Chains A and B, each alone.
Chain A
């Protein structure tokens, strides 16, 4: 009995190790080949080249005249921060009011918002372009920020709503007796209690904004000269996909920041995802 149990455990560990290895191979190739010349990559894609490794190609990718990766980081980080700030600024008050309003009205509004989760957002980019053109924000960062904020509202509001609903109403009543209005109650009482859920939403929205490609590509367009990390990678790698001395270093530079953040914060990211989704 004991023996079969341990052999089952061995098989399990071996299987999981094998899958993990498979998951890591592309990343390994990316790192190893970012330091090699084209001939070396084609001759020996798997082995690291300790003897001939060079930072030349990474430096070339960093100094690419078509796309400054440093600027790409800057634009993308600004985008992440603005979308998060705006989404939370509009969703926290709305979720608070909906969670404290008698059922039928708030149910209806909540359903109206949540329905947005089922709209494949990349697919409505074409009509969004006309709306943004109408309000004069097409091709601009504010336009992109507004659209990305709109796409994060359904999830943000839904998760906030679920969280606030569980907070005791007696908190509100106590604040009201002390003479606090709705805004002050939200700002001073409710928001501080929402810290964990705000962190979760921040992480998940940041990931989706950072990784989005279709929205910046369509809304900013190549004409604007403003690149996010993803649209910049597309511009830098898109037409040179067989020149691996461009592909590997550029991709490596594009993924380093997000991977470092992930490795440092993986526990919070993964538990946040679980907490956010299970609310559904």
Chain B
């Protein structure tokens, strides 16, 4: 009709305007996020100490061999995986459980939500220092234990304890976000279905299994992916809570990249570790998305 007969120059001008509106975002994004990823991939195949006048020397897969061959670095991979998996499970269980308890909106529940969310507005660095003062060898908890005549506990000074202490601190500071996501998701659970289940005499657990859980599918996906990715890049808490110790028991990959490989001017190795983390994040996201799709298909075939 009329719109198709818009004059050529005007159509061109509109195209120009459109392009000029997208270009700035593309430029910033490509220059500072995409190009660095490409650089990381390139450097991961080179030996390079980061000095501007040195040319990176191509060494093929050497950095990846070093990475998977070094006990120290495979140790950090295990720590990272434990933090990500255990942390994500704990965060999501705590968040979903408390979301179910705080579901109804009243004064008490609103207060509870605020209290459980507040650690998220503190930076992870501050959270780490704060918990260091609570759990450290001379920290609050151990001072109290000594006062009542009990032996102090090695929360941060024993390799086995330190990792679990750190996960506890991360869960404490993180689950509030997922709690809010689940609360939002619960609002979308159809009230008439819940009512119907109640009338049919379903138990709480049956109602949850049959009604609430399936309607939460997309929320669970978002919550698991967001918590998993933020756990994969755990760095700030390590710096302030444990410094990677004792004996490397809390050293994550991100910490190893920024606090070990980079200061040692091993740019190739740092980049290889970065590539590994990017791949891990992508695999995590894709896995969760595929699982979710399958779950949705199942739900459709039932309902």
Q: Which residues of A contact B (CB under 8 A)?
A: 12-13, 15-16, 19-20, 23-27, 29-30, 33, 42-43, 45-46, 86, 89-91, 93-94, 96-98, 101, 109, 113, 116-128, 130-133, 135, 146-147, 149-151, 153-154, 157, 181-183, 186, 207, 210-214, 218, 229-230, 233-234, 237-238, 241-242, 244, 247-248, 251, 254-255, 258-259, 261-263, 266, 269-270, 273-275, 277-278, 280
Contact = CB atoms under 8 A, between A and B. Distances in A.
Interface stretch (B85-93, B116-124, B205-213): B116-124
B296 to A, nearest CB: 15
A113 B114 CA distance: 32
B132 A182 contact: no
Interface of B: 13-14, 17-18, 21-22, 24-26, 28-29, 31-37, 39-40, 43, 50, 52, 98, 101-102, 108-109, 111-126, 129-134, 136, 138, 140, 143-144, 172, 177, 180-181, 183-185, 218-219, 222, 226, 229, 232-233, 235-236, 239-240, 253-254, 257-258, 262, 267, 270-271, 273-274, 277-278, 281-282, 285
Contact of A42 (B22, B108, B138): B138
A251 B130 contact: yes
B222 A277 contact: yes
A119 B101 contact: no
B21 A45 contact: no
A20 B130 CA distance: 18
Given A120-B229, A120-B281, A207-B121, A274 B180 contact: yes
Contacts, number: 257
B271 A126 contact: yes
B40 A94 contact: no
Majority SS at the chain B contact face: helix
Contacts of A126: 40, 43, 257-258, 262, 267, 270-271, 274
B97 to A, nearest CB: 10
B122 A128 contact: no
Nearest to B123: A211
B119 to A, nearest CB: 7
Contacts of A24: 115
Contacts of B116: 19-20, 23
26 contacts: A19-B112, A23-B119, A27-B118, A45-B144, A90-B24, A94-B24, A124-B37, A124-B40, A125-B258, A126-B267, A127-B36, A127-B43, A127-B271, A130-B50, A131-B39, A132-B32, A135-B31, A146-B28, A150-B32, A182-B17, A213-B236, A259-B122, A270-B113, A270-B117, A270-B180, A278-B184
B143 A133 contact: no
Given A19-B98, A113-B29, A242 B136 contact: yes
Contact of A94 (B17, B22, B119): B22
A38 B171 CA distance: 29
A95 B98 CA distance: 36
Contacts of B136: 241-242
B129 A233 contact: yes
A25 B126 CA distance: 15
Contacts of B32: 128, 131-132, 146-147, 149-151
Contact of A119 (B124, B253, B281): B281
A259 B34 CA distance: 34
A116 B282 CA distance: 10
A123 B133 contact: no
B33 A150 contact: yes
Given A20-B116, A120-B233, A230-B236, 5 more contacts: A27-B118, A150-B29, A214-B235, A230-B126, A273-B177
Contact of B172 (A23, A130, A147): A23
A206 B22 CA distance: 23
Contacts of B140: 29, 33, 45-46
A72 B29 CA distance: 27
B36 A122 contact: no
Contact of B108 (A16, A128, A213): A16
Contacts of A121: 33, 233
Nearest to A100: B18
The 8 A-B residue pairs whose C-beta atoms are closest, nearest first, are A274-B184, A211-B123, A93-B21, A150-B32, A127-B39, A120-B233, A94-B25, A127-B36
A126 B232 CA distance: 17
Given A26-B131, A182-B17, A230-B123, A278 B219 contact: yes
Nearest to B119: A23
A109 B236 contact: no
Contacts of A261: 121
A51 B262 CA distance: 49
A266 to B, nearest CB: 5
B236 A182 contact: no
A157 B25 contact: yes
A184 to B, nearest CB: 10
A126 B31 CA distance: 14
A101 B18 contact: yes
A96 B25 CA distance: 12
Contacts of A248: 133
Nearest to A30: B130
Nearest to B178: A277
